[in-house]
Structure 1
Amino acid sequence: MFGFPTATLLDCHGRYTQNVAFFNVMTEAHHKYDHSEATGSSSWDTQNPFRREKLEQKSPDSKMPQEDSPGTRQKVYECQECGKSFRQKGSLTLHERIHTGQKPFECTHCGKSFRAKGNLVTHQRIHTGEKPYQCKECGKSFSQRGSLAVHERLHTGQKPYECGICHRSFRNQSNLAVHRRVHSGEKPYRCDQCGKAFSQKGSLIVHIRVHTGLKPYACTQCKKSFHTRGNCILHCKIHTGETPYPCGQCGKSFTQRGSLAVHQRSCSQRLTL
């Protein structure tokens, strides 16, 4: 129709078939394009009025990357507060909210706010009960993709986070961070009532119940309550008759590991006499 294959035009700078008049203009300009200069600033850039107009619109201060290597993009959007750079303007906008404290995405259920819309979507699953990420191994579901990834390591045995001091490995980074406090002695969680400090937030929560008297875990058999879930589980074994901790010397079994330890000391003393 135009004296040369349409595909050749489309392969270079085409995709103009949607507008016939515009396509005719581009066809004439295409013949003027010097393919020998395709790797640099070609005659297409300077001769074609549409392309030249776009080039002239780009000021020297433009935030668009100019000299990227193939397949990469420069980090051209810089935070004026801390200097951190980003490849996308949206990523910079999200980062700047760390400095401003802005949290524009609010949960309609509880009023909690978030910096990113994705974080709000994930949070709302607490209210809706939605758990779209399911383990293919055991069928257990999770509200977050990251939680599923950590869970799957139970099946694979993978522990990719290793302590650089003792080389103990962990399934997730947060457990490694808590473990490192064993070596550093750091105890960032302090009780406001008595000043006692803990390396884990959960330990502080349990400790505070000593002051408040809160015992949220109740035995279903006798209604006795406990500060921790573990103590409640141990107590329930009294009713079930379960004694999972046997003494290796005399065979007597106990419901609690601590009771077994006390028994083993006395048992060893009797055997030595």
Structure 2
Amino acid sequence: MPEHIPGCRGEFADRVALVTGAGQGIGAAVAASLAALGARVAATDIAPRRDVPGPADETDTDRSTGSVSSFTLDVTDRASVDRTVDQVERELGPVDLLVNVAGILRTAPVTEFSDEDWADTFAVNTTGIFHTSRAVGRRMAGRGSGCIVTVGSNAAGVPRTGMAAYAASKAAAAMFTKCLGLELAGSGVRCNVVAPGSTDTAMQRALWTGEDSERRVVAGDPETYRTGIPLGRIADPQDIADAVVFLASDRARHITMQELYVDGGATLR
């Protein structure tokens, strides 16, 4: 197990995790971390990568290392979600952990934002989480256990110029996840949110306009009302994955309906 991944060797052995948006960035880091701790991971994406780690050697009797299997999933399509969840449960077993990571970012001032970009943003970032959480949550409730973690954004808790649709969609997803957690608590299912700040992913780098972009993100920008990052660094995807792993683990067994900001202090919370 990589030394930087917190937790006990084999902590998620015999558990099945479904991760959306696992083709790159935070989703890929979450999938790899859970597999390193023993989970059988269904790494789903609309265009999943094929270079995911293979299953552990079947002769490894300590079952401390899991596996990552790739599945195609369009979270905006309810039928696709239902089919994929059915397939995952047939091939890997009942889903114990759902991690909602799939998301998109479209930026523009509200007065210039298109109807199409608004609809697409909410289709993935909000409705997609509804589709996957409903499909998996009803199964978890019937079995009396499970954990759902939604990867949101610190933009859900602080206004951002040019990011109204993204921020609103993430705020909706966070409140949805908390309401779901309240509804499913009696069934033993926990639901929490991890809210990253600026993280070194393709989505983040698409916003950069020059060689000093990373420095400017860390320093902040008064013209756009952005504070900097007090810890002085942009997050790695693994930083976010570590928080997800903790909330998915039995070490967080009494935590539900919470939103954990992992942003280096950028929102001054």
Under TM normalisation by the shorter chain, which class is it? under 0.3
Considering only CA atoms, is the larger Rg found in Structure 1 or Structure 2? Answer: 1
Q: TM-score, normalised by structure 2?
A: 0.19
Kindly indicate whether structure 1 or structure 2 has the higher relative contact order, using CA contacts under 8 Å at least 6 residues apart.
2
